[in-house]
A and B are shown apart, each in its own frame.
Chain A
Amino acid sequence: MLGLPLAFSAPLVLFGLLALPVIWWLLRLTPPRPQAEIFPPLKILARVMKREETPSKSPWWLTILRLAIAGFIILALADPILNPRENSISTEGPLLIVMDNGWATAADWDDRAAVASQLITEAEEREIPVSLVFTADASHDANPRSAAQALERLQAASALPQHGDRARALAAVADALGDATPGTLVILSDGVTSDAEETDRLSQQLGATDAASVLLFEDGPDAVALVDAENGADAFVVEAERPVGAGAVSYSFNAHDIQGRAIAEGSIDFADGETTGTGSIRAPFELRNDFARFAIPGIRSAGSAYLLDDSFRRRRVALLSGASADLAQPLLAPLYYIERALEPFADIVRPRDPELSVAIPELIETNPSVIVMADIGTLPDDVYGPLTEWVEDGGLLLRFAGPRLAGADENDPLIPVTLRQGERALGGALSWTEPQNLAPYPDQGPFAGMPPPENIVVNRQVLAQPSPELSANTWASLEDGTPLVTTRQIGEGRTVLFHVTAEATWSNLPISGDFVEMLRRTVMLSSAGGQPAGGSAGEAASLPPYRLLDAAGQLVAPSGEARPLVLSNEAPTVSPENPPGLYGTEDGFIALNLMDGRDALEPVAWPDAVSATRTGYGTDNAVSLRPHLFTAAMILLLVDSAIVLFMAGFARRLRIGSPALGRTAAGMVAIFAVSLALTPDASAQTDDTRAGDDVILEQLNTTRIGYVLTGEDEVDRISERGLAGLAEFLAYRTSLEPGAPAGLDIETDQLAFFPLIYWPVSATAPMPSAQAISRIDAYMKAGGTVLFDTRDQFSGLGNAASPETDRLRAIMADLDIPPLEPVPEDHVLTKAFYLLPDFPGRYRGGEMWIEQLPQAGETRTMTSADGVTSVIITGNDLAGAWAIDTNGVPIYPTVPADPAQREFAYRTGVNIMMYMLTGNYKTDQVHVPALLERLGQ
């Protein structure tokens, strides 16, 4: 239409535009409705107004405005669409959608889903059933369903870290359709395949289809996948593939450790026209060993991630020993320490045959990275050949000295340095020399950077013949300079000799931590081994999924669909049951990658025979103008309303009638605008109050003394009245005005708000539960104080403990309480507010016990709550002395009945409360004279 890419869904509605002239005529005729006013002095007014002014016509611009509103509405009803999709679906049969959801679709899945959703919506409008299959799904349900169900399935679907199988999906569609006539076949392709033969199958299937039309959506094949990674001698080499050899491109890629942190960075370069690119990360092998995953940042796809597993780190280590293993004394077996040291990071292989000439070829057969020989002096002649060959191919031969080696032929080619015959003994009855310590590790060699060895003593060793290259071949030496670990490059491999035994007879090196580290570093030098030779595995092992790669290339926790990976002789492949990821456990896992080195990415060659309409994803940007037109009409309508209001004199009337009204209206408009602007913020202020907050606030507002509800009414009443009396005394005498006493159910109530909890111990009350006691314990540890009152000062006869004391002991048995002592004479409790010689309650004479203070000379450690004791124990029945009735008259007489004793009881309470609230402030006061003196006053 007019050269614009514009189409109308309901073009017939456009005939409504013909009505515009009529509307124009009507609008011209109809003036705006006047404001009706009752006006008694109309006669006077009529006399004044000679002519009756009635504008029969609206202003022309108002008419045009209204015509525009009408025009917009008619246009909107016609539903114009900008950039309409040319090819719509056929209505002859069900809509068949074959949608790729393999790894290459993850990055732009939303666009693809949008296209599919658009198609399904279109089908819904035309009431066509939809058959929707995803190529990477495990099973394809291609039965045509209603469009709404298809839409639900589409929303539930997502890209999978799998290879799609289009042929299978197409076959499923054909099966499900049976003889029914297919409508439009839509293929939403990712344009990438790793299967060279797929094209043939596709052309076969697409040629057989009798769909009314075929729509093919395909995006530019810009996928890139990491297909291989190899830990080389000094660098990790990563290989990547792209389907089309376009221009030279460079991707940066990161190496992540197992926690997902990027720890190294490299770049993959594709040469112009090449489909394969390589990149490498040069890094120390320790760092490389931490690599767990390569990923190309910015490309969210499982193909752009490559997982590494233990096969890059774990070496197969074959162990050989000259001594027949004496299993009765494993600690003296030469291989025991090596095995223990290597087990965490190496696979140990042992020979089945003790005969070396049989065992060594057999071990070489398993393709080990390292062969460890503990005290093997002379090898059979026929073994030298294969062993030397293996070393030259990159094997690492690690040998340990021993009596046999010391007596062996000095020209053994597989010993790094020429050895002197016999061994050297350091120390001992007939020697002047002392056992030697290990010298700090040299800066060169694999041991560089290890902390200097401590307490490693070598009593005995084999000695190397001095030679010019000896120092260069030495990895570690003793303090006197004699080499302890020597090495020599042989071909691509290496042989390493420890000049001590592998067990603790010659030195304590094997039982030191350095030994493990030295072995680890040595083994890491070796090249990683290949696959184990087949046949050794008896039964097929299976590994549970540990971490799986999601479609975006991230490692996630395994989902329910993943099955354990069954290890067989064939290399495992990615399947819906075995999505790419790490299989095994945290300690050891193998990586299953989406791509392996054999895969090559190719663009899908859709058969030319199929007359498909090809479209990309991005080009489909049909925009319905309907909402915009309605919005415009609505805005114009608002403008029209404003104009009519203005013409009716609304604004002027406001002004004349009441200036305040006008200001109010303006203010309301301003408030409305501001509130609109602030609405998101306002809604962001969520209400964070919780149930019980008011109670907490109420308890925080006033200081309250708590008491434990024992469950015995009389005891609780005395506690309540006693603390009320104390509170009254405190308010009268001090600046502290406590709130009403709080009875606490220690099983449930929050205790943290109370500086002091009074606990009258009653032998007849129910024993608190273990949980309650642990809460009390936590309360005391957090700085609270519990005042236990056994109230039994005069009840006990003789030394027998009263029942209350027994109960107290039972309670305290579960509490973590430091040592206690009677209140010392100079304790702050004796002077916190009043000077008190003792602490009477209803009874006098009982000791008050508190936590033991740090003894003189003992450094006072930082303690919680300023060192205030967390427990006070008395037997004097303080609450009984404090208790007053509602008239303020004491309830119980003191024993003996002495008003002064009650006063002192109250003072005891005051001191305790002051001690609770001010801590050791009063003891610090004793330093005031010294401080003043120091200030020179």
Chain B
Amino acid sequence: MAALGKTVQPTSSSEALSRARQRAALVPDCLVEARRVSNSVIAGWHGRRRRGIGENFWQFRPYAPGESLSRIDWRRSARDDHTYLRDREWEAAHTLWLWADASASMMFKSDLGQVSKESRALVVVLALAEILSRSGERIAYPGAMEPVAARNAAERLAGALVLAPPSTALPDLTRITARNDIVVVSDFLDPPEDVLAMLAPLAKRGIRGHVLEVCDPVEEIFPYAGRTEFVDPETGGKLTLGRAETAGEEYRNAYLARREVLGGALRRLGWSFTTHRTDRPASEALVALHMHLSGMPATTLARAG
């Protein structure tokens, strides 16, 4: 009987070039998929929800002395005895850093999942790039692409990813400045302390973060039974269980506990934490992320993931 899960790509890090090529081959597909997914989400982007420099109407407000006369909206003022100004919504460009984990543990796809975790992570990242670039944000990818403001940021990001060396760990994040947003997509299978040790400094610098955990269904429901030898794709470590089904309950508890710890800690930092299974459509994850990005009330959505 075939194994339930399989690595979608060879895990040997020594063949970096060929792996990069394979990954590069994956990117255009992900880009197309990202386009498709983002088209269903694009309508939800709202502005900064505050008065400022922008193109869209925000509010009429009574003229206060001292303000520039040129901002008076004469058409509105002619309706009654007051004088009004037309305020526009602030639409300042924002820099968003996107990062998808490409470690060996992400190169995994089981029979129950639709795609590999890495593929799903790439799709989500590229789709976000597409959506955000359309709304004028600056998109960056640590280690691959400097912040750019372009309509075709998704393509450019894809191109940069094709050329970029595969990164297994979170790259240098010191260039991310305050008031920037960062989207981190990974499976976070490392101990939550390690992850938090990596992300907490960012939060301290005032960077808003959005974390998406991508997991394969078998990792969550553990459908194994019988005598099974488990192999870690990253370390190559092996573990043989005589009757795998007996370990299922404990494993599930441990897995979910890890998630709770991570999610709770991130939310305390003010970051959003969303989980996504690869047997669900990518647009679900995208919508959830987009909600957080567009500043929907954190109280309603923070727990939704």
Q: Which A residues form the contact surface with B (CB < 8 A)?
A: 31-32, 34-49, 52-55, 645, 647-650, 652-653, 656-657
A49 touches B247 (CB 8 A): yes
Among the interface residues A35, A645, A647, A652, which one has the most CB atoms of the partner chain B within 10 A? A35
Chain A residues in 8 Å Cβ range of B219:
39-41
Q: Can you name 10 A-B pairs with beta carbons within 8 Å?
A: A37-B5, A38-B230, A40-B234, A43-B232, A53-B240, A55-B242, A647-B226, A649-B226, A650-B226, A656-B225
Contact of A34 among B216, B240, B247 (CB under 8 A): B240
A43 touches B189 (CB 8 A): yes
B105 touches A40 (CB 8 A): yes
Among the interface residues A49, A52, A650, which one has the most CB atoms of the partner chain B within 10 A? A49
Chain A residues in 8 Å Cβ range of B44:
none
Identity of the chain A residue whose Cβ is nearest the Cβ of B241 in the assembled complex: A53
Chain B residues in 8 Å Cβ range of A650:
1, 226
B255 touches A44 (CB 8 A): yes
Contact of B227 among A38, A40, A648 (CB under 8 A): A648
B254 touches A35 (CB 8 A): no
State the Cβ distance, B39 to closest chain A Cβ, in Å.
31
Q: Is B245 close to A, CB under 8 A?
A: yes
B239 touches A648 (CB 8 A): no
Map CB proximity to A onto B39-82 as digits: 1 under 8 Å, 0 otherwise: 00000000000000000000000000000000000000000000
Distance A39 CA – B3 CA, assembled complex (angstroms): 10
Contact of A38 among B187, B223, B231, B244 (CB under 8 A): B231
B62-115 residues at the A interface, CB under 8 angstroms: 105-106, 108, 111
Question: With A649-B245, A652-B226 as given contacts, are A38 and B239 in contact (CB-CB < 8 Å)?
Answer: no
Chain A residues in 8 Å Cβ range of B189:
40-41, 43-44
Q: Which B residues form the contact surface with A (CB < 8 A)?
A: 1, 3-7, 105-106, 108, 111, 187, 189-191, 216, 218-219, 223-235, 237, 239-245, 247, 250-251, 253-255, 258
Distance A49 CA – B244 CA, assembled complex (angstroms): 10
Counting from the closest, the 8 A-B pairs by CB-CB distance are A649-B226, A649-B225, A42-B232, A40-B105, A39-B230, A53-B242, A34-B229, A34-B227
Chain B residues in 8 Å Cβ range of A49:
239, 241, 247, 250
Distance A94 CA – B36 CA, assembled complex (angstroms): 89
Distance A545 CA – B27 CA, assembled complex (angstroms): 95
Chain B residues in 8 Å Cβ range of A52:
239-240
Identity of the chain A residue whose Cβ is nearest the Cβ of B235 in the assembled complex: A42
State the Cβ distance, A52 to closest chain B Cβ, in Å.
6
Chain B residues in 8 Å Cβ range of A32:
227
B108 touches A40 (CB 8 A): yes
A48 touches B251 (CB 8 A): yes
Distance A49 CA – B108 CA, assembled complex (angstroms): 22
Chain A residues in 8 Å Cβ range of B228:
34-37, 649
Among the interface residues B7, B226, B254, which one has the most CB atoms of the partner chain A within 10 A? B226
Question: With A44-B258, A45-B239 as given contacts, are A37 and B4 in contact (CB-CB < 8 Å)?
Answer: yes
Distance A530 CA – B191 CA, assembled complex (angstroms): 123
Identity of the chain A residue whose Cβ is nearest the Cβ of B117 in the assembled complex: A40
Chain A residues in 8 Å Cβ range of B243:
53, 649
A653 touches B225 (CB 8 A): yes
Contact of A48 among B5, B224, B254 (CB under 8 A): B254
B233 touches A652 (CB 8 A): no
Chain B residues in 8 Å Cβ range of A46:
237, 239
A35 touches B229 (CB 8 A): yes
A48 touches B250 (CB 8 A): yes
Question: With A40-B108, A43-B189 as given contacts, are A35 and B1 in contact (CB-CB < 8 Å)?
Answer: yes
Distance A38 CA – B219 CA, assembled complex (angstroms): 11
Chain B residues in 8 Å Cβ range of A652:
225-226, 245
Identity of the chain A residue whose Cβ is nearest the Cβ of B229 in the assembled complex: A34
B240 touches A39 (CB 8 A): no
B7 touches A38 (CB 8 A): yes
State the Cβ distance, B219 to closest chain A Cβ, in Å.
5
A45 touches B230 (CB 8 A): yes
B225 touches A40 (CB 8 A): no
Question: With A46-B239, A53-B240, A649-B225 as given contacts, are A38 and B5 in contact (CB-CB < 8 Å)?
Answer: yes
Chain B residues in 8 Å Cβ range of A647:
226-227
Identity of the chain A residue whose Cβ is nearest the Cβ of B189 in the assembled complex: A41
Identity of the chain B residue whose Cβ is nearest the Cβ of A649 in the assembled complex: B226
Distance A650 CA – B224 CA, assembled complex (angstroms): 10
Chain B residues in 8 Å Cβ range of A39:
5, 218-219, 230-232
Chain A residues in 8 Å Cβ range of B105:
40-41
Among the interface residues A34, A45, A47, A656, which one has the most CB atoms of the partner chain B within 10 A? A45
Among the interface residues B218, B224, B227, B235, which one has the most CB atoms of the partner chain A within 10 A? B227
Identity of the chain A residue whose Cβ is nearest the Cβ of B250 in the assembled complex: A48
Chain B residues in 8 Å Cβ range of A38:
3, 5-7, 108, 230-231, 233
Question: With A35-B229, A650-B1 as given contacts, are A44 and B251 in contact (CB-CB < 8 Å)?
Answer: yes
Chain A residues in 8 Å Cβ range of B111:
657
Question: With A44-B255, A46-B239 as given contacts, are A653 and B232 in contact (CB-CB < 8 Å)?
Answer: no
State the Cβ distance, B107 to closest chain A Cβ, in Å.
9
Distance A149 CA – B241 CA, assembled complex (angstroms): 64
Distance A880 CA – B228 CA, assembled complex (angstroms): 89
Chain A residues in 8 Å Cβ range of B6:
38
Identity of the chain B residue whose Cβ is nearest the Cβ of A652 in the assembled complex: B225
Contact of B254 among A37, A47, A53, A648 (CB under 8 A): A47
A42 touches B1 (CB 8 A): no
Chain B residues in 8 Å Cβ range of A648:
1, 226-227
A37 touches B227 (CB 8 A): no
Chain A residues in 8 Å Cβ range of B253:
48
Distance A341 CA – B231 CA, assembled complex (angstroms): 111
Contact of A37 among B229, B234, B258 (CB under 8 A): B229
Known: A39-B231, A44-B251. 10 other contacts (CB 8 A): A37-B4, A37-B5, A38-B108, A38-B233, A39-B219, A40-B216, A41-B105, A648-B227, A649-B227, A653-B1
Identity of the chain A residue whose Cβ is nearest the Cβ of B255 in the assembled complex: A44
Among the interface residues A32, A48, A648, which one has the most CB atoms of the partner chain B within 10 A? A48
Chain A residues in 8 Å Cβ range of B3:
35-38
Distance A660 CA – B177 CA, assembled complex (angstroms): 53
Identity of the chain B residue whose Cβ is nearest the Cβ of A36 in the assembled complex: B229
Chain A residues in 8 Å Cβ range of B231:
36-39, 42
Chain A residues in 8 Å Cβ range of B247:
45, 48-49
Question: With A35-B1, A45-B247, A656-B223 as given contacts, are A40 and B233 in contact (CB-CB < 8 Å)?
Answer: yes
State the Cβ distance, A671 to closest chain B Cβ, in Å.
21
A54 touches B240 (CB 8 A): yes
B232 touches A649 (CB 8 A): no
Distance A652 CA – B223 CA, assembled complex (angstroms): 10
Chain A residues in 8 Å Cβ range of B237:
42, 46
Distance A297 CA – B237 CA, assembled complex (angstroms): 84
State the Cβ distance, B162 to closest chain A Cβ, in Å.
25
Chain A residues in 8 Å Cβ range of B187:
40
Distance A55 CA – B240 CA, assembled complex (angstroms): 10
Distance A39 CA – B228 CA, assembled complex (angstroms): 11
Contact of A657 among B216, B223, B250 (CB under 8 A): B223
Distance A52 CA – B237 CA, assembled complex (angstroms): 12
State the Cβ distance, B253 to closest chain A Cβ, in Å.
8
Distance A653 CA – B242 CA, assembled complex (angstroms): 14
A653 touches B223 (CB 8 A): yes
Distance A34 CA – B4 CA, assembled complex (angstroms): 13
Distance A649 CA – B250 CA, assembled complex (angstroms): 19
Identity of the chain B residue whose Cβ is nearest the Cβ of A35 in the assembled complex: B228
B251 touches A37 (CB 8 A): no
State the Cβ distance, A653 to closest chain B Cβ, in Å.
5
Contact of B251 among A45, A53, A649, A657 (CB under 8 A): A45
Chain A residues in 8 Å Cβ range of B233:
38, 40
Distance A631 CA – B193 CA, assembled complex (angstroms): 62
Among the interface residues B7, B191, B242, which one has the most CB atoms of the partner chain A within 10 A? B242
Distance A42 CA – B230 CA, assembled complex (angstroms): 7
State the Cβ distance, A176 to closest chain B Cβ, in Å.
67
Chain A residues in 8 Å Cβ range of B190:
43
A54 touches B225 (CB 8 A): no
Chain B residues in 8 Å Cβ range of A44:
189, 251, 254-255, 258
